[in-house]
């Protein structure tokens, strides 16, 4: 039974963890929104998103595939597109495509997903996003006049760079704080009500209700594109429902509660419900079609922790108010440093944006002094080609994306070294400090989960023997964690067993002995 203390602990745990995980893609979305407002401008935005009909919406989807953002990070961007007077149909297509079909999905998904599952994800994204845009385009779309006072006029130099910083900071508070609060609070409350491991009983592909169960759980959840691909990969690697993976991709990665609130403000309740029913029907249709037409893994069990991010953390059970001091440490456990830095930058931008908004500080405008814009002016204040600036920005974002992926999934040799250290710590603390040992075993399990993906990212083949060895390693770790959580002693021979299975993993993955 979940008492009030454990429930509140679980809510705070998921809210804090969700915000930090969302921070990198949210930060990218804020930066792109600032570039659109301070550098690109409304005329160029409309020209960039030109085109009519299905072809125009396909162009929008292709542009969205260049933006590494999540369902939260895309909202500051779509606000700038709406401010620029873009049709609602294109705004919705962009808002759905960007979280589901971005560089993270394309680069990471192409690397780790089976080809048929990767094609399924891409097809689902295009059908849903373009379909929603086309349907919305059939409605009377009220045209919105552009308020030029909302757009800065500085076209180059230090003023434009200052405006870029101001626009990014403003984007962090103009709706974004509300989006984050709504999304994370609803996500935390719903996740705290779902027991850990609950999905294991409902996701097998033989269960015809698996997509429907996922549909009930995911619209209120938050799943960033990075972990979305991890979850789809895990589902496609065991005997789970591919239809459930499709639903997770659309309603977990592509749509969240903050986006639903934004759609309600944009269209009203009646049209929101109509759109929702259409998206539900199309997504379920694709999902059940995938279950019927695509092959499922054979000879594999259905044990995976891939979906535990949508449920209550097991560590919250029985947690009283006296242990709340461990909340931050537990919720941020095993999260890369880059995510934490991104979270602090987002908070800093929100503070700066609040000062700008409350102080009614406007953007800088160009001055009429011709000497300032002359070719002889300081190099940092000269005009810079916008196409080159855009190329540098896109290249930098893609480089950052690749760096984050490879930092999160280091080389298998490095993972095995970390596993050896963590395994020793877990065994040593199993007797005197079970709580620390349980945390170390969880970390060990996370490292084991990274092995197949790390191999795939580096173009190495993962054999069936290697998959079976990692699954056995995972089962032994879960048995140890369960014993510690139940207050029982771990198997005294566990250290020897873990060492043996580690040798088998290394031999089957790397072709070498420890």
DSSP 374: S
How many CB atoms are closer than 10 A to CB 475? 13
- Distance, CA of 160 to CA of 138 (rounded, Å): 38
In order of start, what are the domains of the chain with their CATH numbers?
4-195+216-349 (no CATH), 412-510 (1.20.120)
**pTM, to two decimals:** 0.77
- Distance, CA of 400 to CA of 321 (rounded, Å): 39
- Distance, CA of 83 to CA of 145 (rounded, Å): 9
Spatial neighbors of 54 by CB under 8 A, at least 6 apart, are: 130, 134
pLDDT for 348-371, tens place per residue? 999 999 999 898 888 877 665 544
Of the candidates 60, 103, 396, the one whose C-alpha atom is nearest the C-alpha of residue 226 is: 103
Query: How far apart, in Å, are the Cα atoms of 67 and each of 74, 103, 305, 511?
Result: 9, 7, 29, 39
* Residue 512: exposure state from Cβ atoms within 10 A (0-12, 13-18, ≥19): exposed
pLDDT for 316-347, tens place per residue? 555 544 455 667 777 776 677 778 888 999 99
Of the candidates 403, 445, 356, the one whose C-alpha atom is nearest the C-alpha of residue 24 is: 403
Are the beta carbons of 45 and 357 closer than 8 angstroms? Answer: no
Q: For 72-91, b where at least 16 C-beta lie within 10 A, e where not — what string? A: bbbbbbbbbbbbbebbbbbb
Of the candidates 407, 339, 453, the one whose C-alpha atom is nearest the C-alpha of residue 18 is: 339
Spans in the chain with pLDDT lower than 50 = 320-322, 370-373, 375-376, 380, 514
What pLDDT, on a 0 to 100 scale, did the predictor assign at position 145? 66
Let me know the angle formed at the C-alpha of 292 by 290 and 293, rounded to the nearest 5 degrees: 65
Let me know the angle formed at the C-alpha of 169 by 165 and 173, rounded to the nearest 5 degrees: 165
Are the beta carbons of 383 and 157 closer than 8 angstroms? Answer: yes
Are the beta carbons of 83 and 150 closer than 8 angstroms? Answer: yes
Query: How far apart, in Å, are the Cα atoms of 366 and each of 36, 151, 152, 285?
Result: 18, 12, 9, 54
Query: How far apart, in Å, are the Cα atoms of 498 and each of 448, 465, 487?
Result: 12, 17, 21
């Amino acid at each position: 039974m979940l008492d009030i203390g454990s429930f509140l602990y679980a809510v705070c745990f998921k809210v804090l963890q969700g915000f930090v995980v969302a921070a990198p893609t949210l930060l990218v979305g804020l930066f792109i929104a600032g570039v659109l407002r301070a550098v690109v401008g409304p005329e160029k935005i409309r020209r960039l998103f030109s085109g009519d009909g299905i072809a125009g919406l396909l162009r929008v989807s292709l542009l969205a595939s260049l933006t590494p953002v999540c369902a939260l990070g895309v909202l500051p961007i779509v606000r700038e597109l709406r401010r620029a007077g873009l049709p609602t149909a294109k705004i919705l297509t962009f808002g759905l495509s960007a979280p589901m079909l971005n560089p993270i999905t394309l680069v990471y998904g192409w690397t780790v997903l089976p080809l048929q599952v990767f094609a399924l994800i891409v097809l689902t994204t295009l059908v849903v996003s373009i379909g929603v845009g086309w349907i919305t385009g059939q409605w009377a779309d009220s045209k919105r006049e552009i308020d030029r006072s909302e757009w800065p006029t500085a076209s180059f130099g230090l003023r434009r760079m200052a405006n870029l910083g101001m626009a990014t900071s403003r984007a962090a508070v103009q709706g974004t704080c509300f989006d984050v609060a709504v999304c994370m609070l609803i996500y935390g409350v719903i996740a705290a009500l779902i027991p850990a491991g609950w999905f294991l009983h409902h996701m097998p592909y033989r269960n015809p209700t698996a997509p429907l169960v996922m549909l009930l759980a995911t619209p209120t959840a938050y799943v960033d594109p990075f972990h979305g691909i991890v979850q789809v990969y895990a589902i496609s690697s065991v005997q789970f429902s591919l239809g459930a993976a499709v639903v997770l991709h659309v309603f977990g990665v592509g749509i969240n509660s903050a986006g639903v609130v934004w759609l309600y403000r944009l269209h009203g309740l009646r049209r929101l419900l109509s759109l929702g029913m259409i998206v539900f029907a199309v997504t379920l249709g694709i999902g059940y079609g995938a279950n019927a037409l695509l092959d499922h893994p054979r000879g594999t069990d259905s044990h995976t922790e891939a979906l535990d991010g949508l449920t209550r953390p097991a560590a919250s059970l029985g947690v009283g108010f006296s242990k709340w001091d461990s909340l931050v440490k537990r919720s941020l456990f095993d999260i890369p440093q880059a995510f934490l830095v991104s979270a602090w930058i987002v908070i800093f931008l929100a503070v700066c944006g609040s000062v700008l908004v409350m102080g009614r500080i406007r953007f800088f405008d160009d001055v009429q002094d011709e000497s300032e814009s002359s070719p002889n002016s300081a190099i940092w204040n000269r005009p810079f080609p916008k196409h080159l600036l855009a190329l540098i920005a896109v290249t930098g974002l893609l480089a950052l994306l690749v760096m984050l992926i490879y930092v999160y999934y280091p080389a298998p040799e490095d993972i095995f070294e970390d596993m050896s250290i963590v395994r020793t710590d877990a065994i040593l603390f199993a007797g005197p400090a079970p709580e620390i040992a349980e945390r170390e075993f969880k970390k060990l399990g996370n490292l084991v989960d990274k092995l197949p993906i790390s191999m795939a990212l580096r173009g190495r083949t993962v054999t069936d023997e290697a998959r079976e060895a990692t699954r056995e390693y995972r089962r032994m770790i879960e048995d140890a964690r369960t014993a510690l959580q139940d207050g029982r002693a771990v198997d005294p021979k566990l250290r020897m067993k873990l060492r043996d299975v580690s040798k088998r993993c290394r031999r089957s993955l790397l072709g070498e002995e420890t």
